[in-house]
Structure 1
Amino acid sequence: MRTSILKSLKPDIIVEILEMAVAFENWKKVMETADILYQCVQRIYEERQYHKAMKLPIPHVNLERPLVYYFGLSHLMCGMAHQNQGAYEQARECIYKYAELGWMEDLEGEGLLVVDEFRFLAKTNLYTVEILSGNIELVEEYVGFLQDNPEEILPGLNTILEAALMYHLDVEGVLHTLAEQIDEFGDYEDAENVSYYYKYCYHLALYYRKYDKLQAAVKLAVQAMHIANQLGNDRNFKRCTALFELLREWATVEQISEYRKMLMQCLDEYETGRDSIMKKVNE
């Protein structure tokens, strides 16, 4: 990308675009945007280093976070995109890039804290990639890591359940070990953890369906549908609808009624939105 274009870009705005692409699970867009973010901050860093070497005043760029954060985020998001597409080797390469960001000069204070945060994320995400790529002997070690880092248990369980579905693993022991922490998942209110909780319910529903725990699978499918609806995620809501239909014959009358109410609510919201648009058009 041309330097003139890069100079006009604002890293924090690129981050917002990146987060939107992740929310919509548009992994191609995530990789493209992450690359633009990397090029943008690389230009800023090189310009700073040039001015420093020439003993010139360092150009000021308005950033919400230390520059090292944007380097780390660009690699993190690119790795996430590769991981979600099953390209585990490429995801691993991205992880190595943000595992050690200490190569940057003039790191101090908040910048050093950011380096430590990305180092921890690299350790966490390397477990994920290794397990999803088939190194299932790491699951026991990973569970220990999760117990030492409770804030990682919810996303970590999603990794374990995905691996269980891919490699036909029995993870009942893991669910039992972490049962106390699992009971707290429904209390989360921040968007990131609610999103993780949706994935947990959905993956566990698939896991229980696979192992013929069908009533439990129905309950989790309905729960996942509620969360997807709460988040306004139509794609995930459709997935839950499809899963519920596969499990319908094992659902109770109450669960079917609850399911229909959610569908009617979605239909009412669609009709209300359409009527509002038509009203504006006709004004």
Structure 2
Amino acid sequence: MITNTTTIRLEIEKGIRQKGHSLSSFGKQAGINRGIISGILNGNPPKSISIRQLDLMAEALGHAEGWMYEYYVDECFINEKADWRRIKAFLLRCTEIGRYDCIKEVLDRLMEDLNNTISIFGLAEELYAEGKVQESLPFYECVIENEKHQHSERLAISHYRVFRASIGENTEKSFRSAIRFEPYRNRLPENLMLDALLQLANVYYTLQDWKTMEYCADELKLLLEQVYKIDPHYPEKIIAPKETERHIVVYYGQSFLLKSVALESLGKYLDAKSYISGYADLSWFPDLDSVGQKEVDKFKLAAIANKHNLDLLMGDDSNLDEYVNFLQRHPNEILPSIIVILEAANKYNFDIKNTLKTFSISFDSEINFQNDYYQKSTYKARLVTFYYELALYFLIRELHNDGIKYVLKSLEMALEIVNKNKVLDCVSLFEQFKAFSTDNQKEFYENLIRGVNNDAKIHIVAKSSFDIN
């Protein structure tokens, strides 16, 4: 009976004959000892082929990468028993050349014994540690689908890795990934839980889901206080965490900053102000290296900006000139801050014409902000909000052409990143002022909406699994 392993050997023998080689000359061409080739082709039973040897022989015979890989799976399961050393080498090679069909076939065979999830998880972690995130995902997904112990740390970490890899510009995709991951967040090792809560909060910030973002901040703060004993009154008692992605001071400062931003966005301005002191001066934090000190300095700047923001949102623009001078010295803060300045101007009818001019924001200018300071997804989400608030500012002042121009710009970008909530806001605003739009603007709007209907990009998504009353 001809099997897949037999087929490989028959194809090698056929290639050797067609090339006019002897075993010696072929071995020399392929860089493989003649005795090894003889054992592979003529042994009884035949000697197993390593994936490296198959690649060398394929190259010597003039075949492309991945030759006979679909037949090689059987080579990994000699006598129906998994040879993990051989399997691992094959899987790694498949990730290098994108043979995910073969990876799936091997994983399906391995999952006939669910104990193999341990080895699969180990391989995924190796790839992840090497920065091969996308290559690791099929293996994490395999663990997620087949892990027997639903409360295992292995399963939680796999969910977390997939969640992190899924965060990007597509807002809805990020949210769906967050919903899938959330039930497993409390099963993670505590050092990874810090990163997980921070990332979840960032996703909900992008979605403008302030209540869930607030819960993330509360969980983060509780974890830091209970597990790592972080208390500004007793800094000497802080327990150093295991390896974390960021300096520990980042998680502590962010627990206050995220809470403050969420409360601000919920209109609870006085409550939001009370949290600024939690991150305004973190110089008391022990063991601050150069990285930690830079983070402390960033929090200090954020506190100054956010205090100005809250003053404006409560109707006090007396320090606006001082704020503008601050932003000129710290251009990375301009984009998030100008959004709040616009929101306050729209709410209280402030005249910020000179402020917009200072930052080169005019009716017809191409607006550019530094975008290497924030995550790309956060930057784009903020741009969507900026264009929306700028449009509203112009429309309130009956500068309809310019206002509609920026509504459409916000809508176009909201569709690009699939931000459903902002799409609805933009559509509502455009429809309200549609009578003032030009024919070209109407046509552009209709094309955008037609694209949504054709691509079906905007969907209603599931509710977060955080406990929300």
TM-score normalised to structure 1 length: 0.84
Aligned counterpart, 2:274: 93
Q: Is 2:449 aligned against 1:268?
A: no
- Structure 2 Cα separation of the partners of residues 70 and 24 of structure 1: 21
Q: Is 2:400 aligned against 1:214?
A: yes
Aligned-pair CA distance for 1:102: 2.3
Going from structure 1 to structure 2, the CA distance change for 1:137 and 1:187 (only over 3 Å counts) comes to closer
Give the stretch that moved more between structures: 156-165 or 68-77.
156-165
Contact 1:7–1:40 under 8 Å retained in 2: no
Aligned counterpart, 1:74: 255
Contact 2:418–2:457 under 8 Å retained in 1: no
Going from structure 1 to structure 2, the CA distance change for 1:210 and 1:264 (only over 3 Å counts) comes to same
Contact 2:395–2:403 under 8 Å retained in 1: yes
Residue 76 of structure 1 aligns to a residue whose secondary structure is: helix
- Structure 2 Cα separation of the partners of residues 156 and 64 of structure 1: 27
Q: In structure 1, what residue type is equivalent to 2:314?
A: S
Please list every run of at least 4 consecutive aligned residues from structure 1 whose deviation after the TM superposition is greater than 6 angstroms. Answer: none
Q: In structure 2, what residue type is equivalent to 1:160?
A: I
Aligned-pair CA distance for 1:147: 1.5
Q: Rg larger in 1 or in 2?
A: 2
Q: Is 2:195 aligned against 1:12?
A: yes
- Structure 2 Cα separation of the partners of residues 201 and 101 of structure 1: 34
Going from structure 1 to structure 2, the CA distance change for 1:15 and 1:271 (only over 3 Å counts) comes to closer
Contact 1:34–1:78 under 8 Å retained in 2: yes
- Structure 2 Cα separation of the partners of residues 241 and 86 of structure 1: 24
- Structure 2 Cα separation of the partners of residues 6 and 113 of structure 1: 31
Aligned-pair CA distance for 1:232: 0.8
Aligned counterpart, 1:113: 294
Give the stretch that moved more between structures: 84-93 or 23-32.
23-32
Aligned counterpart, 1:279: none
Q: Is 2:413 aligned against 1:230?
A: no
Going from structure 1 to structure 2, the CA distance change for 1:115 and 1:223 (only over 3 Å counts) comes to same
Residue 45 of structure 1 aligns to a residue whose secondary structure is: coil
Q: In structure 2, what residue type is equivalent to 1:27?
A: W
Aligned-pair CA distance for 1:188: 5.3
Going from structure 1 to structure 2, the CA distance change for 1:187 and 1:245 (only over 3 Å counts) comes to farther
- Structure 1 Cα separation of the partners of residues 457 and 410 of structure 2: 24
Aligned counterpart, 2:438: 252
Contiguous gaps of at least 5 residues in structure 1: 274-283
Q: In structure 2, what residue type is equivalent to 1:179?
A: S
Contact 1:78–1:91 under 8 Å retained in 2: yes
Aligned-pair CA distance for 1:223: 0.9
Going from structure 1 to structure 2, the CA distance change for 1:154 and 1:272 (only over 3 Å counts) comes to closer
Contact 2:420–2:458 under 8 Å retained in 1: no
Contact 2:228–2:241 under 8 Å retained in 1: no
- Structure 2 Cα separation of the partners of residues 266 and 193 of structure 1: 23
Aligned counterpart, 2:222: 39
How many residues were matched structurally?
263
- Structure 1 Cα separation of the partners of residues 458 and 357 of structure 2: 45
Q: 2:357 aligns with which of 176, 180, 191?
A: 176
Residue 398 of structure 2 aligns to a residue whose secondary structure is: coil
Contiguous gaps of at least 5 residues in structure 2: 1-185, 460-469
Q: In structure 1, what residue type is equivalent to 2:396?
A: K
Q: 1:128 aligns with which of 309, 332, 341?
A: 309
Greater fraction helix: 1
Going from structure 1 to structure 2, the CA distance change for 1:169 and 1:237 (only over 3 Å counts) comes to same
Q: Percent identity?
A: 27
